Structure 1
């Protein structure tokens, strides 16, 4: 393999935007790029077509008496828009101040490629069997991944699943994630008229879809952050005192957290710290809203239609389907008279808690500590990786969430980046994990 950083630059140049049909060929090109690199590392590789984008499967065996690790990641990326907010073009990787800027640098090309570079460097001295599953549809909800995993249950059998698609808690602080929030994503479309009408001729006498959308949103969450959907909190698992104390000791400054994203202050559910709200409390957030005239200047119309999209991040014991049912029932209850409503359910995911005392997690903690020279911390994460639950359910194997990114990497936003030190240490930690996992599984550590 060439220098890993040069290889990463080549990988990041491919605009593998899975959500845009215009990039279909680019997504396929990224899959083939991975195929070439894994073949060069001595892996047998299959690029499996799906109804959407292909899945790259690769395997290399060190011996029947050796344990197996399955490494998962994704090679597709988010759309780069708005392009005008990028300091450098999103698919022209730029290195400055010890960071590489490009769409996919942290999510997830840089992180998954660290493992590809690691197995390439270990080469013939691979201490265990390694399998890769790298998909091209994570950013659109992974519609074809679970069927692939279920259809290949025996082929994918493993002693541990290793995933790097999460952040470190702070720069230079090795981190293992043991909890992920689940997700329910929905959209409401409202119609009150068959067309927009003049606000003078009709104002005060007919439905206004923009008003209805705003009124309904105000009924879904109160000003203190409490979600008003009946039954929403019924199954929420309380935060343990031990977790509260562990999180309290983490190096976290609320003022820096707010300042980093230009927020004047933080807000949220009373009685909980910021980390508790982010990691262990469920949420409701409007992600998009639209209605009426959007152009320059004025246009005095009453909107015939309106929409709003929203996500709910869920915590252990909350079921995404049940939450969606409760939400839709409540939406129909609060729908004002005179409107037609369509409720659309998009992708979701189950919340996850991973045992921190499993041999693979302990091996990962030691691998990170060896790479960074600091004790590994354990945290939860506010985001969702739906496949984690499915890997645990289908394969019955423990999952290790060993991320090399940072919260400040601008995931899904302009100027996405990855610190080069994290990429380098990620390669080192991956190699350490592969060397240590057999010892921990045997109980030798």
Structure 2
């Protein structure tokens, strides 16, 4: 087919593509724990049906251990021609509060040429893009075709990685086209060569057994919400630049958007300044970004005059490529609120790893901080390593089979149905990314849980973690997609 013929065929197929996207996006295929599984399987079935309509001689659902099925399709390559692997996913993020939507999230609505609804972009539009492109060739493909469309990318993408590890020949290809990105503007084609990765964790601060009347106890009773806010605001300086040790600013060599274009696209309000320094391209594509994505605190409408005993926040870290450095330690966290006593529970995960539960307790009272709440991070971290170790002890619960070392270097063995012990540092959440394979294991991907449930909790993986300068350097040199020994 000539380019003009391809363009004409795609234009003729667009009405059908839009209708099929509406049908697919109307399925609430949220593959998160706590959501019904039937819609996810329904989305897999419809994806298989659509893929069969493209003329691929082989289409089937393939089981992915601990996850929902992936849909696979294949057409052999003509002699001497390469094979191209097409990727997308049929699961979506939860819709959140329906009241925050202008249109129902699972009733796709066409407004001014744009289709609104959960999954109409990420990533069911990617599925329809592949389907429409393949139909154009009417079964006579100029290259070999392989298609893999997974069903749990938004929650536990590491399950597919384990599937790839066990089936390398099934998905072997000369090139991969990932339909899970976008273009700067309508009608402006773009090829995305890399994206920032993501690490995410939930931090919970507890200071009191129960809420206390602010008139009787305020001013002396430690406020969990105030401590949490202090920790979160310490992550950025007054300009909005990250000041966490070990997260340097990157440099992008290409051209980025103008500030006017970015403000218009992002919907930044008049009179509100952008955050951070340096070029927009550096901030958006080559530097770390830390975002607080959720808070569990009393609502304004339900507020009472009480000192809060607990507060939680969800924090994500966007990791640029190459990520050859690691954050240093939790001292940049603990010193921000080192007057805080009580329990801090953390759930750490990445976009490629399921959550693991971590608990941190103050072993003894910490000295009162004399630094202001908005003091530079150097002042906030002005405590010795010995003092930091004496104040904090860490317990981690997970399903790893390997023993871990605690802050003092003591080795503990995991007994059945009991937590294991490990040091929780900033290196921990970075270490939960895919790691370097060991000599006894050729895998470049994390292994899934052996549980038959589609939502297992695999926990943390890896061997002992030594809190030494040598160990810090070693962790700093491990790239974001390498498995540690």
Q: Same fold (TM over 0.5)?
A: yes
> What is residue 314 of structure 1 aligned with on the other side?
319
Question: What SS class does the counterpart of residue 124 from structure 1 fall into?
Answer: coil
> What is residue 368 of structure 2 aligned with on the other side?
none
Segments of structure 1 that go 5 or more residues without pairing to the other structure are 351-385, 396-445
> What is residue 355 of structure 1 aligned with on the other side?
none
> What is residue 85 of structure 1 aligned with on the other side?
100
Counterparts of 1:45-56 in structure 2, within 5 Å, are 45-49=59-63, 50-56=65-71
Question: Are 2:239 and 2:276, in contact at CA under 8 Å, matched by a contact in 1?
Answer: yes
Counterparts of 1:31-430 in structure 2, within 5 Å, are 31-43=44-56, 44-49=58-63, 50-233=65-248, 237-240=250-253, 243=254, 246-247=255-256, 253-254=260-261, 256-257=263-264, 260-262=267-269, 264-270=271-277, 272-291=278-297, 293-294=298-299, 296=301, 298-319=303-324, 322-323=326-327, 326=328, 328-337=330-339, 338-348=341-351
Cα deviation for residue 3 of structure 1 reads 2.5
Aligned-pair RMSD on alpha carbons? 2.9
Instruction: Tell me how far apart the structure 2 counterparts of residues 165 and 300 of structure 1 sit (CA, whole Å).
Output: 47
Segments of structure 2 that go 5 or more residues without pairing to the other structure are 1-12, 354-432, 438-442, 446-485
Question: What SS class does the counterpart of residue 28 from structure 1 fall into?
Answer: helix
Question: What SS class does the counterpart of residue 71 from structure 1 fall into?
Answer: strand
Indicate how the Cα distance of structure 1 residues 264 and 136 shifts in structure 2: closer, same or farther if over 3 A, else same: farther
Question: Are 1:75 and 1:135, in contact at CA under 8 Å, matched by a contact in 2?
Answer: yes
Cα deviation for residue 71 of structure 1 reads 0.5
Question: Are 1:192 and 1:209, in contact at CA under 8 Å, matched by a contact in 2?
Answer: yes
> What is residue 429 of structure 2 aligned with on the other side?
none
Cα deviation for residue 111 of structure 1 reads 2.1
Give the structure, 1 or 2, with the largest relative contact order (CA under 8 Å, sep 6 or more): 1
> What is residue 441 of structure 1 aligned with on the other side?
none
> What is residue 43 of structure 2 aligned with on the other side?
30
Instruction: Tell me how far apart the structure 2 counterparts of residues 194 and 308 of structure 1 sit (CA, whole Å).
Output: 19
Question: Are 1:210 and 1:305, in contact at CA under 8 Å, matched by a contact in 2?
Answer: yes
Question: Are 1:254 and 1:274, in contact at CA under 8 Å, matched by a contact in 2?
Answer: no
Question: Are 1:34 and 1:56, in contact at CA under 8 Å, matched by a contact in 2?
Answer: yes
> What is residue 24 of structure 2 aligned with on the other side?
11
Q: Which moved further from structure 2: 201-210 or 68-77? A: 201-210
Q: Deviations over 1:239-276 (max 9, x none)?
A: 34xx2xx33xx566257437724364232222x12233
Instruction: Tell me how far apart the structure 2 counterparts of residues 180 and 24 of structure 1 sit (CA, whole Å).
Output: 29
Question: Are 1:153 and 1:394, in contact at CA under 8 Å, matched by a contact in 2?
Answer: no
Indicate how the Cα distance of structure 1 residues 268 and 58 shifts in structure 2: closer, same or farther if over 3 A, else same: same
Question: What SS class does the counterpart of residue 22 from structure 1 fall into?
Answer: coil
TM-score (norm 1): 0.70
